[in-house]
Structure 1
Amino acid sequence: MRTETGREETRAPDIPGTEDSDDIGRLYRRYRKYAFAIAYRMLGSAADAEDIVQDVFAELSRRMPAMPDHPKSDIARSAVNRSLNLLNSARGRRERYVGDWLPEPVGEAALGPEESAVRGDALSFAYMVMLERLTPAERAVFVLREAFGFGYDEIAGMVGRSESALRQNLSRAKRKLKPAEGETRLAPIQAEEETAKERTELLRRFERAFAAYDIDGVLNLLGDRPVLTADGGGARIRTIVRPMEGRKGVCALLTSRRIFKEARSWAASVESVNGEPQLVYREGGEARMAIMPYTEPDSALIDRIYVVIGPEKLGRI
């Protein structure tokens, strides 16, 4: 069912009011966010991940009263395989996407207590961006092995590939995810409290300089080779077609492009996005833009900035 805003409302699959429905209801309540966590890491889209979750539990309800012997693994297998099918069909659409396609950021409400066991690099927004470098098969084994701790034998049973092929996929995935020279090193997002405070202060300094058109203030926060990537939902919101590189270019973009000028009238706050403090801009309570900067290794200077604009990609913040 869709809400008045057009978003897909998350709910349990429609099933008869029988004893079987109680069983599927318990599975849904226990594993819904677990299935979402897997599908989101696979797809980078919270909307698509929610659709996957609905399909997974609808399939389980059709199989009732037969209950899976190992529901957690069964749900993971179903979520991964459905995500693989969707990824393979989505690759062409993303190649034709106007501008850069960035993952859909998610806030705390979209994450469940299951995340405490799997949070790590593979949830941070920067890592979600890097996962786009992988083939669907590489992404599946990386997510299941590195983020969720499944063994090769378990993954082989889920995706129907040999353990040796999976090891090769994981090795290739790690090589692709290794930061290139000058690229942000992705530290674990479970940062110490002091580090989180430092990041929050950096965000606030950036927001103040951005709001005041303080060019020197922005430049003082940027590293030697900053890169800004923006996603306005394809052609719907005009941002930039390709990443902007360089200190002067990034600063000029932030101070001259119309959408960034408009953003200065919105309310800015530091909020948890993909488990990290990020800048969120709201108008009338609705998220309109998220700015997610990342610093250079062992430095407080900003190396990369990801910007997501528009309600279609910000509904889970």
Structure 2
Amino acid sequence: MEELYQNYKSYAFSIAYRMLGVVADAEDAVQDMFAELQHRDRSGIQNIKAYVAKGVTNRCLNMLNSARSRRETYIGEWLPEPVSEGYDGPEAAAERKDNLSYAFLVLLERLSPTERAVFILREAFEYDYEAIAGMVGKSGSNCRQIFSRAKRILQTEPASRLPSLRYGAVTENLLVRFTAAFTSYDVGGMLELLGEHPVLVADGGGREVHTILRPMTGRRGVTALLTSKRVMHYLREWKPSCGLLNGEPGLIFTDQGVVKCVLCLSTDSSGERIQNLYLLMDPVKLSHITVPPEPPQS
């Protein structure tokens, strides 16, 4: 059992995190699945990897169904919990090259739990429809239809606003330019960086931290918010550093070594302008973010 756990815990977590978007919940789903596996007769399991995928998927479906009502009463916007490169939990070896981008993880919130499970198992883990059918309790043809419906839902976002499925679009140079414009209240510089229809979403943890409660959209509104000397002044009191968030460059703001917030970005279809900005200030969701190391002195 210990060998099974070591071999498949990262794989199980990579499914659970994509499904739930919360590290602690994903860890709970993985632990519960392996606890059940430990107490059952495993001699009849022909494909242990598929069994692990099915077990953790079903637990995530149950958790998502119970979480939906809580998120409907959440004060402000609910965003998934990011993880940083330095986090050495169960996902440390979870196929980073296949990570969904953070922006796409946010987009998955539009799907129902079953649509999300089918989409992730098919798109990120490349299971065929018959295998997925056994995991989610549907027929293969039904899973094919669910996957098509999920893609249509995700593609209702205009192409210019649709984030890439996997990471890699945001460059460190873009972050450096954004930081310079942000810290100097440079309206012109910010306008040069933002796409045609930017969206800024903030999550302060419901009642935990005061922040904007509704998404800000449009170049004028987002620029005004990012260059305001009143609304987001506290961010400029903290130290911004570039770090990897869900496998792609993002900004981590710290105060005396304590992570205070993170900013995840995605670009428009050109890859040269910022389209989505996700600001997370919920202390609970920052608990798996590590402070980036200081660059070596030249």
**Fold shared, TM-score > 0.5 on shorter chain:** yes
Moved more, 63-72 or 47-56: 63-72
Distance 1:125 1:190, change over 3 A: closer
How high is the TM-score relative to the length of structure 1?
Answer: 0.84
Confirm or deny: 8 A CA contact 2:251 2:264 kept in the other structure.
Answer: yes
1:98 matched to 2:75? The reply is yes
SS in structure 1 opposite 2:201? strand
- Looking at structure 2, the residues matched to 183 and 316 of structure 1 have their Cα atoms a distance apart, in angstroms, of 31
- Please point out which of 146, 150, 161 is paired with 1:184: 161
Distance 1:71 1:258, change over 3 A: farther
1:87 matched to 2:64? The reply is yes
The 5-angstrom pairing of residues 91-240 of structure 1 reads 91-108=68-85, 109=87, 110=89, 111-116=91-96, 119-120=98-99, 123-181=100-158, 183-189=160-166, 191=168, 199-240=171-212
Distance 1:112 1:64, change over 3 A: farther
- Looking at structure 2, the residues matched to 242 and 135 of structure 1 have their Cα atoms a distance apart, in angstroms, of 22
1:248 matched to 2:220? The reply is yes
1:14-62 deviation per Cα after TM superposition (whole angstroms, max 9, x unaligned): xxxxxxxxxx221111111111110111111112101111111111222
How large is the Cα RMSD of the aligned pairs? 2.1
Partner of 1:42: 19
Distance 1:242 1:183, change over 3 A: farther
Structure 1 residue 116 displacement after superposition: 4.6
Confirm or deny: 8 A CA contact 2:58 2:136 kept in the other structure.
Answer: yes
Distance 1:38 1:243, change over 3 A: same
Give the unaligned 5+ runs of structure 2. 290-298
Partner of 2:258: 286
- Looking at structure 1, the residues matched to 49 and 112 of structure 2 have their Cα atoms a distance apart, in angstroms, of 25
Q: Which has the higher helix share?
A: 1
- Looking at structure 2, the residues matched to 166 and 273 of structure 1 have their Cα atoms a distance apart, in angstroms, of 31
Structure 1 residue 65 displacement after superposition: 7.2
Task: State how many pairs are aligned.
Answer: 286
- Looking at structure 2, the residues matched to 62 and 247 of structure 1 have their Cα atoms a distance apart, in angstroms, of 56
Structure 1 residue 179 displacement after superposition: 5.0
- Using CA pairs under 8 Å that are at least 6 residues apart, name the structure with larger relative contact order, 1 or 2: 2
Distance 1:94 1:105, change over 3 A: same
Q: Amino acid of the residue matched to residue 80 of structure 2?
A: P
Structure 1 residue 96 displacement after superposition: 0.9
- Looking at structure 1, the residues matched to 67 and 167 of structure 2 have their Cα atoms a distance apart, in angstroms, of 31
Partner of 1:310: 282
Confirm or deny: 8 A CA contact 1:238 1:259 kept in the other structure.
Answer: no
- Looking at structure 2, the residues matched to 241 and 164 of structure 1 have their Cα atoms a distance apart, in angstroms, of 41
Give the unaligned 5+ runs of structure 1. 1-23
Distance 1:201 1:89, change over 3 A: same
- Looking at structure 2, the residues matched to 187 and 145 of structure 1 have their Cα atoms a distance apart, in angstroms, of 17
- Looking at structure 2, the residues matched to 141 and 294 of structure 1 have their Cα atoms a distance apart, in angstroms, of 24
Confirm or deny: 8 A CA contact 1:189 1:276 kept in the other structure.
Answer: no
1:70 matched to 2:47? The reply is yes
How high is the TM-score relative to the length of structure 2?
Answer: 0.89
- Looking at structure 1, the residues matched to 207 and 149 of structure 2 have their Cα atoms a distance apart, in angstroms, of 33
- Looking at structure 1, the residues matched to 198 and 2 of structure 2 have their Cα atoms a distance apart, in angstroms, of 48
Q: Amino acid of the residue matched to residue 114 of structure 2?
A: A
Q: Amino acid of the residue matched to residue 81 of structure 1?
A: N
